[in-house]
Amino acid sequence: MSNLKMGSGRLFVATQHYPPDQTTTAVYLGQIARALTADRKVTVVSGTVGSRSFGAENEPKVIEIRSWRSAKHALVRRAIAMCAFAAGMFLEILARVRQNDTVFCVTSPFTLPYAAVLAARLRGAATVLLIYDLYPEALEAAKFIKPTSISARLLRFANSLLFRALDAIIVIGRDTPSLLTKYRGVAPAKIHFIPNWALIPSGYRELDPDNPFRCGLRDKFVVGLSGNLGFTHDPRAIFEAAKLLAGNWDIHFLFSGWGVGWGELSELAAAEQLPNVTMMTPVADSQLVDFLSAADIWVIPYRRNIAGVSIPSRLYNLLAVGRPIIVCSESYSEAAIVLSEEAIGWVVPPEEPAQLGRAISNAAMDRAGTAAKGRQAAVVAGKYSEEAATSRYREVIGAAGNRRPNR
């Protein structure tokens, strides 16, 4: 960073989620924004209530704008809320940004980049986009819309304009660039891969029979599922795998999470009452390390065709506690690439419960080998550090501001 001359203008971070919001997006954006203050004045335009209290001395200045939240399953109201938030962000950026400034935004909600980038371009400012979820591809994979639908075509047209207008695009998976370069005029040189990192301290945690989350499961091989189950995840696959393994008394499934997929998983569990499945409410942040350390192995169950369109953020916390992972996805997804390169888990085809069940059974039969993969996973987690990632953010965003000095 010492050899990179930073732009003289201000940096605006446009995001709906920001601390004190505890969502993964908010936590990452908070850490990135703080790191960016090392180079220039940073102003965060946030849709999170209470985020202004985080704009203290040596912190980014925070401006709150109104954000109407709606339940994820209320699709029409949620769409209206996302559009209203994007309109508010457009007006705020247009009023505050000037020619030498840079606007950095994220794809959450997916309407945000179109508004923020348009306002920035009208002011002649540089623009950088961080892609967490790619639309319409994510909607197509979740089977909300068809690739040939008018909605998908309109979003692709809007994306073609958006991506060409950007000075830099940041992706968190190596599976995303191939999707972006399908859009006309998107050069690979504009795309920068910066992976996420663990939000808990990295280090192998021994399996502790006294772990409160292993109560009654001391000698079992515990298979865990944790976190948000969104439209891009397949809760049915892991439940059906548990059903197939119900006769194996050495294997037990431990589930805790939230999201629309969690509702489906809860309904399945209530209907079947499997003896080898324990359902839990979301654990508190203070208990997260103990909970993640309670399982012998973790599963991330994606739907088909999700590679490149959905973020693998939970991967890094699972690595950090030293646990191997089974990911249900295409072999070229970012999570699958990491597991295969480092030999710290298994990759099975998505939406294939039988193959998932076989992978779990094989891991349970070789507990020593599975534990060895976990120890290696904790080592691998150290490669994904906050310091390394935020240094790259500073570099990419600084260079984007310098590329267009006379806008």
Q: Parse the chain into domains and list their residue ranges.
A: 11-197+385-402, 212-381
pLDDT at 360: 98
Does 11-197+385-402 match 212-381 in CATH topology? yes
| pLDDT averaged over every residue in the chain | 91
Tell me the three state secondary structure of residue 120. helix
CATH fold, domain 212-381, is Rossmann fold (3.40.50)
3 pLDDT more than 50 = no
How many CB atoms lie under 10 A from the CB of residue 355?
A: 17
Which residues lie across from 103 on neighbouring strands?
A: 12, 127
Would you say domain 11-197+385-402 falls under CATH 3.60.9.10? no
Tell me the three state secondary structure of residue 73. coil
- pTM, whole model, 2 decimals? 0.91
Distances (CA, A) of 52 to 2, 88, 183, 230: 31, 17, 37, 29
Q: CA-CA distance, 53 to 299, in Å (whole number)?
A: 37
Q: What is the dihedral of CA 1, 5, 29, 202, to 10 degrees?
A: 0
Q: Which residue has the tokens 């501001």?
A: 401
Residues 6+ apart with CB under 8 A from 189: none
pLDDT at 77: 80
Q: CA-CA distance, 186 to 166, in Å (whole number)?
A: 9
The lowest-confidence range among 6-20, 98-112, 315-329 is 6-20
362 pLDDT more than 50 = yes
Compute the C-alpha angle 31/35/36, nearest 5°.
120
99 pLDDT more than 70 = yes
- pLDDT tens sequence across 57-77: 678 999 999 887 655 556 678
Residue type at position 15: T
Q: CA-CA distance, 223 to 395, in Å (whole number)?
A: 40
Give percent of the chain with pLDDT exceeding 70.
94
pLDDT at 394: 97
Q: CA-CA distance, 90 to 47, in Å (whole number)?
A: 13
pLDDT at 294: 96
| N- to C-terminal Cα separation, the chain | 24
pLDDT at 98: 94
- pLDDT tens sequence across 285-334: 899 999 999 999 999 999 998 899 887 788 999 999 999 999 999 999 99
Contact by Cβ (8 Å): 183, 169:
no
